[in-house]
């Protein structure tokens, strides 16, 4: 008869081979067991799937493949955050001595990663005005070491719609790789892989998860590049936890429903604000950026928003506002902020799924 100590440690796993749950369970385990040394050796010879959750886990695999399916890409991988996914994508293409060309109006965190962290790795980065096709090509021809082009399908915070097909033609002409951040648009609005991008990245923290309760990233695209990215994520410890992956996959189930409602609200908000502020809205997506007139006290405006929350992020089911000047683009110098247009009057609004008129009434009260 086993001791109480042994019984308490080796808890029952009755029915684990036969139970068929309606939804995928959480594989909240750090490692997977084997019945023999031969079976373990088989894993290393390619005959097994799971060994250790840093290298692979059913939940993180499910997230990577789900996003790949949404984007129409052959393969995907999950990462611990959107920034981790961006870094994995970059490192799947370039190495020390190579050059990267990026849009100057990318998200502030991406800008900082490119400007400072890649430099520490000996990777050189050039920024260009991607609204000017001739300027992009000039950089490509001037710097033959450029291997990777990076932009966003809808830029943050001024919502410029990227010419992904144009970038794709350019990268094909010069034998480069194109990576597009599709966080703002989501596959509901734009599918960059179908337009010629080699890699598509998401901060799954935002619209894919959709409920503000996870931090996650996803990278999808060409299978050969994703295979390299998987090794970077494993070796650099950028893996996502099983529970976070499970929550994100659950959130994706309602992506289309949420994006429909949020996009409709964003359109109504943009229309409402157009005679009260300078408004940026491309007609797609759930983000509206606006610049309050100079005479408006922006601090008082934020304090007057009532139930509309002030947060440093976006994309939850609740309508929220953020202040790019001191959050998403805080790390940029005054000159860099001025160049892309971020001022102390800039507000970025993320439309939620609340009743449209309720949102407009609250904004009207704040403006009044």
Sign of the C-alpha dihedral computed for residues 200, 203, 209 and 210 taken in this order:
negative
Q: What's the rounded Cα separation, in Å, for the pair 128 and 135?
A: 7
The CATH code for residues 37-252 is 3.40.640.10
* pLDDT, tens digit, 9 for 90 and up, residues 63-88: 999 999 999 999 999 999 999 999 99
Q: Which CATH number fits domain 256-367: 3.40.50.360, 3.65.10.10, 3.40.50.12780, 3.90.1150.10?
A: 3.90.1150.10
Contact yes or no for 258/353 (Cβ under 8 A): yes
For the cut 60, the answer to whether the pLDDT of residue 14 exceeds it is no
Overall pTM > 0.85 = yes
Q: What gap in Å lies between CA 62 and CA 258, rounded to an integer?
A: 21
Rg (CA), the chain: 23
CA distance 85 to 92: 11
Q: What does the pLDDT average to over 293-322? A: 95
Q: How confident is the model at residue 223 (pLDDT cuts 50, 70, 90)?
A: very high
Residue ranges per structural domain of the chain: 37-252, 256-367
List Cα–Cα distances, 105 to 156, 162, 168, in angstroms: 7, 11, 19
Mean pLDDT of the residues in the chain: 95
Phi, psi dihedrals of residue 90, rounded to the nearest 5°: -60, -45
Residue 309 phi/psi, 5-degree rounding, is -80, 150
Query: Which residues, 6 or more positions from 5, have their beta carbon under 8 angstroms from its beta carbon?
Result: none
User: What sign does the dihedral 33-35-41-46 (CA atoms) show?
Assistant: negative
pLDDT at residue 13, rounded to an integer: 65
pLDDT band at 339; cut points 50, 70, 90: confident
Give first-to-last CA distance, the chain, whole Å: 77
Strand pairing category for 346-350 and 320-322: antiparallel
CA distances from 190 to 170, 194, 243, 285 (A): 19, 9, 28, 9
């Amino acid at each position: 008869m086993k001791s109480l100590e042994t019984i308490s440690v080796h808890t029952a796993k009755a029915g684990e081979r036969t139970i068929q749950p309606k939804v995928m369970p959480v594989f909240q385990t750090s490692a997977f067991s084997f019945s023999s040394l031969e079976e373990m050796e088989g894993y290393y010879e390619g005959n097994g799937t799971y060994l250790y959750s840093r290298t692979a886990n059913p939940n993180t695999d499910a997230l990577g493949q789900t996003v790949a399916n949404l984007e129409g890409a052959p393969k995907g991988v999950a990462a611990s955050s959107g920034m981790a996914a961006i870094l994995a994508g970059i490192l799947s293409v370039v190495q020390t001595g190579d050059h990267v060309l990026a849009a100057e109006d990318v998200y502030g965190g991406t800008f900082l990663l490119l400007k400072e962290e890649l430099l520490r790795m000996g990777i050189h980065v050039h920024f260009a005005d991607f609204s000017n096709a001739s300027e992009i090509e000039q950089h490509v021809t001037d710097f033959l070491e450029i291997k990777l082009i990076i932009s966003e399908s809808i830029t943050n915070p001024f919502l410029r719609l990227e010419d992904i097909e144009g970038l794709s033609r350019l990268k094909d002409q010069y034998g480069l790789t194109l990576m597009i951040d599709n966080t703002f648009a989501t596959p509901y609005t734009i599918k960059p892989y179908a337009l010629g991008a080699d890699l598509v990245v998401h901060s799954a923290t935002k619209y894919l998860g959709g409920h503000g309760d996870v931090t996650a990233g996803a990278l999808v695209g060409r299978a050969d590049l994703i295979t390299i990215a998987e090794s970077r994520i494993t070796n650099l410890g950028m893996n996502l936890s099983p529970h976070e992956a499970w929550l994100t996959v659950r959130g994706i189930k309602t992506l289309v429903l949420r994006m429909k409602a949020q996009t409709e609200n964003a359109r109504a908000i943009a229309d409402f604000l157009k005679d009260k502020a300078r408004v940026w809205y491309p007609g797609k997506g759930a983000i509206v950026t606006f610049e309050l007139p100079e005479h408006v006290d922006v601090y008082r405006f934020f304090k007057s928003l009532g139930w509309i929350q002030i947060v440093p992020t976006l994309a939850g089911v609740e309508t929220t506002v953020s202040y790019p000047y001191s959050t998403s683009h805080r790390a940029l110098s005054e000159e860099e902020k001025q160049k892309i247009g971020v001022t102390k009057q800039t507000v970025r609004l993320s439309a939620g799924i609340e009743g449209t008129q309720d949102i407009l009434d609250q904004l009207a009260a704040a403006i009044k």
